[in-house]
Amino acid sequence: MKANLSLIVLFFILFFNPCQSESPNEWIKIANAELERALKTERIIQRPKNVVFFLGDGMGIATSTGARIYKGQINGRNGEEGSLTFEKFPHVGLSKTYNDDAQVPDSAGSATAFFSGQKAALGVIGLNSNARYGNCSSAQGNHITSILEWAQKAGKATGIVTTTRITHATPAGTYAHTPDRDWETYVNGSDDADRAGCKDIARQLVEDLPGRDIRVIFGGGELHFLPTNETDSWSKNLTGLRQDGRNLIKEWRIRKMAAGHGNRSRTISTGAQLNALNASQTDFVLGLFAPSHLSFDLLRANHTPKQPTIHEMTKKAIEILQKNEDGFFLMIEGGRIDHGHHDNHAKLAFHDTVAFDAAVEVALEMLPDNDTLFVVTSDHSHTIRIGGWPGRGESILKGQGVNMGSDGLPFLTLSYANGPSAANNANGSRRNLTGLATDVDVFQQDALVPLKYETHGGEDVAIYAKGPFAHLFHTLHEQHYIPVAIDYAACYRSTAAQHCNKTTAISAAPPAPMNWPSIIRVLVFCLVFILL
Ligand SMILES: *[C@@H]1O[C@H](CO)[C@@H](O)[C@H](O)[C@H]1NC(C)=O
Ligand SMILES: *[C@@H]1O[C@H](CO)[C@@H](O)[C@H](O)[C@H]1NC(C)=O
Ligand SMILES: *[C@@H]1O[C@H](CO)[C@@H](O)[C@H](O)[C@H]1NC(C)=O
Ligand SMILES: *[C@@H]1O[C@H](CO)[C@@H](O)[C@H](O)[C@H]1NC(C)=O
Ligand SMILES: *[C@@H]1O[C@H](CO)[C@@H](O)[C@H](O)[C@H]1NC(C)=O
Ligand SMILES: *[C@@H]1O[C@H](CO)[C@@H](O)[C@H](O)[C@H]1NC(C)=O
Ligand SMILES: *[C@@H]1O[C@H](CO)[C@@H](O)[C@H](O)[C@H]1NC(C)=O
Ligand SMILES: *[C@@H]1O[C@H](CO)[C@@H](O)[C@H](O)[C@H]1NC(C)=O
Ligand SMILES: *[C@@H]1O[C@H](CO)[C@@H](O)[C@H](O)[C@H]1NC(C)=O
Ligand SMILES: *[C@@H]1O[C@H](CO)[C@@H](O)[C@H](O)[C@H]1NC(C)=O
Ligand SMILES: [Zn+2]
């Protein structure tokens, strides 16, 4: 009878958690469990068959912390105690994100660092630090290859997935070389003046290596592939941007047919087509799901037909790439976290971070064994802050009920150093947030310095890793170390290490010894309960 009562109480504490906070014992248990996990942290020394590289664009530490709390709160919990999926990875390091010529980086220069292993100038993709931003002739002779190309040459199937235009800085970093990230499509005059000899990014994807051999291409940006006399696939209301009259989507398909992949290649444009795509019948797919960027995940319902989620794209990409016996390299970008922040829209940024995390989760579920190296990182941070004196479990989007400035006006737990929202604070006084619904989807949190777009943040971002050689991410790293370490692990270009020897590579480490102390502890715990 007594035991039953205790069990019922325990059940309530565990599953309904009526308290705002944990008991002292609970905190001790949490720390001990964490210590046990730390003591058991594996260092897996073998060549990974696959590499899945996740990039949260603009996902600094304040963003992952805020998104973690937000995710907990939309699931009815306090929020602080939880973790995003990738935050549970066993190995974490930090990345110094500055560009060759910039203290605070942009996504192009940093994509060059974390894909090609060298820092480059701000705005420059796939070129070394000799190249100058916006100067085409400075690109000549300064092309550098990316880890996606190294993977292809090593026989891996490759894929790129993003929620931005597929020609945007981060995805372009896997396949393009350009001194200006904005040269995404053909505009008149591209053949002379500044851009002489610098092919637009969309054409590089379709025509050049490694772009033309990428098997899975999912993202947005259809208008950059269509001529000005053709319209987008959905509203039929927007015209293509290419002033060279070419339809690169058709050209992509013609090239695949010419290469003998005619009946195993597809071009698709909706979430329904994505879900209906039979992975076992598809080797090459070009899926452009929006005229420009895909929608913010929180606002996806506003679009018809339905755009796919980042986790749906990830799932299909893995199904297709997994067929390659020699494994694959897949890049997945949560690209709009950055855009939410640029407009001071923290909720959009957090929600996209949670959607990005769902993609990590689906990838982990599909690739549970030790033969995949997962790396999750970011290109740069943003100026968002989490501050004030909110209590445990306080809404991360509110806080104006508990934080009071010395000017007698309440403030939110979230704020930005700069951005468009600063316009709300005119006349030398902050706006009065009392009673405002600050948790609506597109609310702009306060910013100090007025700017049309909020800027990136220059502090370090995290690198989370799991799988073979994940422990190579363990300290404060230069951002351009990331592909060098992955390459070492995966033996793409660098094949000298012992684990790269295919005849000896796959050797399981010795099994972990039985953990008697924890087994005894569990037994004692159960015994105490039965006695009660
Ligand atoms: C562009 O780069 C080339 C080659 O590096 C250099 O000679 C030229 O002066 C640069 N042009 C400008 C406008 O800086
Ligand atoms: C671009 O150039 C072509 C050929 O010279 C011309 O037909 C077309 O009107 C131009 N388009 C724009 C937008 O300037
Ligand atoms: C657009 O123009 C090109 C050549 O200028 C032509 O081949 C094509 O058929 C046109 N497309 C449409 C939809 O009119
Ligand atoms: C097409 O564009 C017009 C004008 O911008 C707009 O009023 C209309 O709703 C759009 N139609 C569709 C189907 O998006
Ligand atoms: C697909 O293409 C291959 C080679 O071109 C051909 O042998 C095969 O019959 C085709 N399959 C179908 C279903 O069309
Ligand atoms: C996908 O294609 C394979 C091979 O052609 C077939 O066996 C399978 O039934 C298809 N799956 C679906 C869901 O249609
Ligand atoms: C700033 O002051 C002017 C003049 O008093 C007023 O019209 C305006 O609404 C104020 N702006 C804000 C954002 O409070
Ligand atoms: C802010 O607004 C609330 C509600 O309208 C009001 O009670 C309060 O006095 C205002 N604070 C200031 C400093 O104006
Ligand atoms: C690879 O391992 C095999 C078996 O241990 C050994 O005979 C061979 O010499 C190794 N090759 C290299 C390049 O290390
Ligand atoms: C992964 O490798 C570690 C150590 O090599 C081993 O203990 C663990 O069981 C492996 N996990 C799986 C899922 O194979
Ligand atoms: Zn940005």
Residues with Cβ–ion distance below 5 A, ligand 11? 338
3-state SS, residue 386: strand
Which whole number is the average pLDDT over 259-279? 97
Residue 9's CB is within 10 A of a number of other CB atoms, namely 10
Helix (H) or strand (E) holding 417: strand 414-419
Confidence of residue 531 (pLDDT cuts 50, 70, 90): low
CATH code for residues 43-383+455-507 = 3.40.720.10
- Which segment of 264-268, 464-468, 492-496, 516-520 scores lowest on mean pLDDT? 516-520
Which whole number is the average pLDDT over 228-233? 98
Give residue 200's pLDDT.
Answer: 95
Pocket test for ligand 1, best of 101, 128, 130, 138 (most atoms within 8 A of CB): 138
Find out whether 343 and 331 touch, Cβ atoms under 8 Å. Answer: no
**Is pLDDT of 519 > 60?**
no
List strand residue ranges (DSSP E) for 356-485, in order.
372-377, 381-382, 384-386, 414-419, 447-450, 456-457, 461-466, 476-478
Give residue 202's pLDDT.
Answer: 97
Strand partners, 377: 55, 463
Give residue 191's pLDDT.
Answer: 59
Task: Kindly state the tokens that stand for 32.
Answer: 């001990």
pTM: 0.90
pLDDT digits (tens, 9 = 90+) for 443-456: 999 999 999 999 99
Distance 188 CA to ligand 2 centre (A): 6
304 lines ligand 4 (CB under 6 A): no
Confidence of residue 466 (pLDDT cuts 50, 70, 90): very high
Q: Which protein residue has the closest C-alpha to ligand 9 atom 5? A: 504
Cα(432)–Cα(400) distance, integer angstroms:
9
Give residue 450's pLDDT.
Answer: 96
Cα(530)–Cα(4) distance, integer angstroms:
9
Which whole number is the average pLDDT over 8-17? 46
502 lines ligand 9 (CB under 6 A): no
Which whole number is the average pLDDT over 254-273? 97
- At residue 468, what is the residue type? P
423 lines ligand 7 (CB under 6 A): no
Q: Give the residue carrying structure tokens 């190249």.
A: 131
Which whole number is the average pLDDT over 294-310? 96
pLDDT digits (tens, 9 = 90+) for 375-389: 999 999 999 999 999
**Is pLDDT of 476 > 70?**
yes
Helix (H) or strand (E) holding 421: none
What DSSP string runs through 124-135? -BSB-TTS-TT-
**Is pLDDT of 416 > 50?**
yes
Which whole number is the average pLDDT over 328-356? 98
243 lines ligand 2 (CB under 6 A): yes
Residues annotated within the binding site are 57, 168, 170, 333, 338, 342, 379-380, 456
